[in-house]
Amino acid sequence: MRIITWNINSVRLRMPLVKKLTEEAAPDILCLQETKTPDEHFPVDDLRALGYEHQHFQGMKSYNGVAILSKYPLESKEIYTRVGREDCRHIAARVAHELGKFEVHNLYIPAGGDEPDVAANDKFAHKLDFVDEMSAWFKDRYSDDQRLVAVGDFNIAPYEHDVWSHKQLLKVVSHTPPETDRLAGMLASLNWTDVARHFVPEDEKTYTWWSYRNRDWKKSNRGRRLDHVWVTPPLKDNLSAYDVLTHTRDWEKPSDHVPVIVDFQF
DNA sequence: ATGGTTGCTTGGCAA
């Protein structure tokens, strides 16, 4: 069972890359963020043609938007409102697999703007509130013996080696203590496993995003690990592989995020 | 310190 999460930054513009990815990596479940597409324009038929018959998505014009595309049936499809906004950042579904069901949550946490100051920047306040609410919500609704997978663009790089320079990014939104502390709290509250760090040693740099604003993303390599896959304890022993498809950052008209793969052996 | 690029949409915001 292979799950891929990818912030696609416009699904309509990048359908050719989605096709390329599915041919190359053949995910059973593909979770997309920043689809930037209202539901009536979502490329349902094109994705079905790629083998993703089972789809759950919520989008809006220009911003945000999340999608779960699956080769397996999806049950109990849910759409969640976070901090009072219907802004297409959290959907979930149960995946029916022959060796057991699990619930997949696809998350797009707000980026939070530029200024890491809740008084001066509403977007940063929204981001912190979003994580607070969602963290409490998961803890209230579930227990750590349930089979959950949470994926998506969390817009937070939690650890020192999740960014190119810990020191230089401590006051940059995505790596500030108010954000990383909150994410650590959420991780601990349901005993989630951060799958990337289950496979990649904590002292090894690993990124999933490189800004468009660098002349040469590979040469400067100023990346951050913003995209995540978390699993609850019952799924931990089923983890078999983790990979980041860094080469896709060099595809023509790339997303600024690259796909993250997690494989399960059931 | 500042500016750098992209997508959606055609002015300016969000990332």
Please report, for the domain that includes residue A170, its CATH number.
3.60.10.10
pLDDT for A71: 97
In the structure, how far is the CA atom of residue A213 from the C1' atom of nucleotide B4, in angstroms?
A: 5
Say yes or no to pLDDT of A180 above 90: yes
Instruction: For residue A163, give the DSSP letter.
Output: B
Confidence class for position A99, pLDDT limits 50, 70, 90: confident
Confidence class for position A191, pLDDT limits 50, 70, 90: very high
Strand B near-CB residues (< 7 Å), A 4-43:
9-10, 12-13, 34, 36
In the structure, how far is the CA atom of residue A99 from the C1' atom of nucleotide B14, in angstroms?
A: 42
Say yes or no to pLDDT of A98 above 90: no
pLDDT for A228: 98
Which nucleotide lies nearest residue A114, CA to C1'?
B15
pLDDT for A100: 83
pLDDT for A182: 98
CA A215 to chain centre: 25
Which nucleotide lies nearest residue A256, CA to C1'?
B6
Which nucleotide lies nearest residue A87, CA to C1'?
B14
- Widest Cα–Cα separation across chain A: 51
pTM: 0.98
A51 in contact with nucleic chain B (CB within 7 A)? no
A213 in contact with nucleic chain B (CB within 7 A)? yes
In the structure, how far is the CA atom of residue A188 from the C1' atom of nucleotide B8, in angstroms?
A: 38
A29-33 and A209-210 strand pairing: unpaired
The whole-angstrom separation of Cα A85 and Cα A74 is 25
The answer to whether the beta carbons of residues A100 and A25 sit under 8 Å apart is: no
A225-264, pLDDT tens digit by residue?
A: 999 999 999 999 999 999 999 999 999 999 999 999 999 9
Say yes or no to pLDDT of A117 above 90: yes
In the structure, how far is the CA atom of residue A29 from the C1' atom of nucleotide B6, in angstroms?
A: 27
A113 in contact with nucleic chain B (CB within 7 A)? yes
Q: How many CA atoms lie within 13 A of A210 on its CB side?
A: 23
In the structure, how far is the CA atom of residue A89 from the C1' atom of nucleotide B13, in angstroms?
A: 18
The whole-angstrom separation of Cα A128 and Cα A255 is 25
Domain limits for position A18 = 2-264
Instruction: For residue A247, give the DSSP letter.
Output: G
Say yes or no to pLDDT of A20 above 90: yes
Query: What is the domain count for chain A?
Result: 1
- Stretch A107-116: mean pLDDT, rounded? 98
Confidence class for position A85, pLDDT limits 50, 70, 90: very high
A26-80, pLDDT tens digit by residue?
A: 999 999 999 999 999 999 999 999 999 999 999 999 999 999 999 999 999 999 9
pLDDT for A38: 98
